[in-house]
Amino acid sequence: MVKILRVDRRLIHGQIAFSWTAYLNVDCILVANDEAARDDIRMTTLRLAKPKNTKLIIKSIDDSIAAFESGKTDKYKIMIVVENVDDAYRLAKAVDAIQVINLGNVKAHDDSRPYKGDRSINLTDEDQRHLAELIAMGKSVEIRMVPNDGIRPFKAEI
C-alpha cells in the first residue's frame, strides 16, 4: 500500500527518516531516482540515512513502475520519495496505488519560480501542468513540509 509519494530534492533526510515514517507508519521507503539507482556512493549514503526497522529500496523510475506492476510491493506500507515533479508525474500517472503526492522541497531551476511565494516549492509551467493533470485523474496534490504542518492543497497557477 502506497501511503504517500513525496517530492523532496534531498531524498532521505531527518524529516523523512523520523517525522514522515513515524507519522505514516511505513515499513518501506522507496527512493525512485534514476541517478541514485546507478550511483553506489549515493546509495550507500541513502542507506545510512534510513531509519532502523524500515526497508529501503532504491530503483530507477522505470524499475519502480515495474515493481508496482509485478505486485512485489503489495506486502509493504510504502512511502515513495522522488527528487522532482517530473519523476512524481511519471510514477503517479503509471501507478494507480499512488493517490497522494506531497510537495516537500522542490529545487529551483532557471525556468522555475516559487509557488505562491514559498521558496521551498519551485515549479515550472510544465510542473504545474503535470500536477494539474494528476489532480484531474483524481489524485491529491498537497504542500506540506512535515506532518504537523497544515495541508495546503496545490492549485495550478498557469
Give the residue-averaged pLDDT of 52-74.
95
Residue 127 has what pLDDT? Answer: 97
- The residues near 106 (Cβ < 8 Å, ≥ 6 apart) are 7, 9, 84, 85, 112, 115, 120, 121, 122, 123, 127
Mean of per-residue pLDDT scores for the chain: 94
Q: Is the pLDDT of residue 158 over 80?
A: no
The pTM is what?
A: 0.95
Residue 119 has what pLDDT? Answer: 86
Q: What span, in angstroms and rounded, lies between the C-alpha atoms of 122 and 116?
A: 9
Lowest mean pLDDT among 25-34, 37-46, 110-119, 145-154: 110-119
Residue 25 has what pLDDT? Answer: 95
Q: Is the pLDDT of residue 18 over 90?
A: no
Give the residue-averaged pLDDT of 12-26.
90
* Local structure of residue 134 (DSSP, 8 states): H
Residue 73 has what pLDDT? Answer: 93
- The residues near 110 (Cβ < 8 Å, ≥ 6 apart) are none
What does the block give as the cell for 43?
Answer: 546509495
Percentage of residues of the chain with pLDDT beyond 90: 87
Give per-residue pLDDT as tens, 73-129: 999 999 999 999 999 999 999 999 999 999 999 999 889 999 987 889 999 999 999
Residues assigned a catalytic role: 13
- Delineate the domains of the chain, giving CATH numbers in brackets: 2-153 (3.40.35.10)
Q: Is the pLDDT of residue 57 over 90?
A: yes
